[in-house]
Amino acid sequence: MGYDIAIDGPAGAGKSTIAKKIAEKKNMIYVDTGAMYRAMALFMLREKVNLKDTAEIAEKCKDAEITIKYEDGVQCVFLNGENVNGLIRTEEVSEAASKTSAVPEVRKKLVSLQQELALMQDVVMDGRDIGTKVLPNANLKIYLTASSWVRARRRYDEFLAKGESADLEEIEKEIRERDHRDMTREESPLKQAEDAILVDTSDMTVDEVVDRIIGLIK
Ligand code: DC
């Protein structure tokens, strides 16, 4: 019997940082499902699909083959055979992913892929619907969150660290908008699973969060 951990929560709560560390410590595979939705969004942008046209997105997504491979322990997402890891972390792709991930056909395709990955190995999977939909029987479910201000502040600091300028208020506004879209969409909205444990990271360091979750692993 395998052991799977589901980590859900809004953008900027620290899911990927935390999930990666837990996977490393526990010798599990980290699966970043957001990267798959981002690769799909990149495909739609390249194909110049109208992001308001749900039917067009549903049709087009049939032409996008998304696959995952691990190179030196790092997850690489491939779009029709091309490694797109370096192209999916832009604001444009974030916005597009939030829109295209609301389309049922997109979700169906990527959820199957995620479930297949979890069948093959013990995973720490992060996303929005992992505990509610993708891995309803996960051994441990965490709902990771932080206030929108703290999440905006973290993103702002990341921009500064890269030597880029940023507008903190603008970032918080975008985070709130994305939260709203992710939480109110009809198909698999972001919400805490009934059996998930809430961890608010607003006043916690990364190591504190990792220790807390590792302490919950039975
Ligand atoms: O976690 P992220 O920021 O990389 O996710 C990008 C977008 O994909 C985000 O708007 C929500 C969506 N997403 C989703 O709908 N379901 C998931 N399991 C993961 C991400």
Percent share of the chain, pLDDT over 90: 89
Other CB atoms within 10 A of residue 167 CB: 12
Q: Give residue 34 CA to ligand 1 midpoint distance, Å.
A: 4
Place of tokens 């990955």: 117
**pLDDT digits 0-9 by tens, 159-195:** 899 999 999 999 999 999 989 988 998 988 999 999 9
The residue to mutate among 7, 33, 115, having the most atoms of ligand 1 within 8 angstroms of its beta carbon, is: 33
Structure tokens at 137: 């029987």
Asked if 141 contacts 15 with a C-beta cutoff of 8 angstroms, the reply is: no
Place of tokens 């805490």: 192
State the average pLDDT for the chain: 95
Q: Fill in the amino acid letter for 72.
A: D
- Are 152 and 172 in contact by the 8 Å Cβ rule? The answer is yes
9 Cβ inside 6 Å of ligand 1: no
Say yes or no to pLDDT of 1 above 70.
no
Domain 1-28+122-218: which topology? Answer: Rossmann fold (3.40.50)
Q: How far apart are CA 125 and CA 15, in angstroms?
A: 9
CA-nearest residue, atom 20 of ligand 1: 34
Sheet of 74-79: strands edge to edge? 66-71, 74-79, 82-83
pTM above 0.85?
A: yes
166 token code pair: 């940023």
Q: Could you tell me if the CB of 128 is within 6 A of ligand 1?
A: yes
Tokens for 158? 């990341």
**Strand, coil or helix: 81:** coil
DSSP one-letter string for 162-197: TT----HHHHHHHHHHHHHHHHH-SSS-----TTPE
Mutate which of 128, 134, 174 for ligand 1 pocket (most atoms within 8 A of beta carbon): 128
Which residue puts its alpha carbon closest to atom 15 of ligand 1?
101
The closest residue, in CA terms, to atom 18 on ligand 1 is: 127
Q: What does the pLDDT look like over 29-50, one tens digit per residue?
A: 999 999 999 999 999 999 999 9
The CATH code of domain 32-121 reads: 3.40.50.300
Nearest CA to ligand 1 atom 16: 128
Q: Is the CB of 97 under 6 A from ligand 1?
A: yes
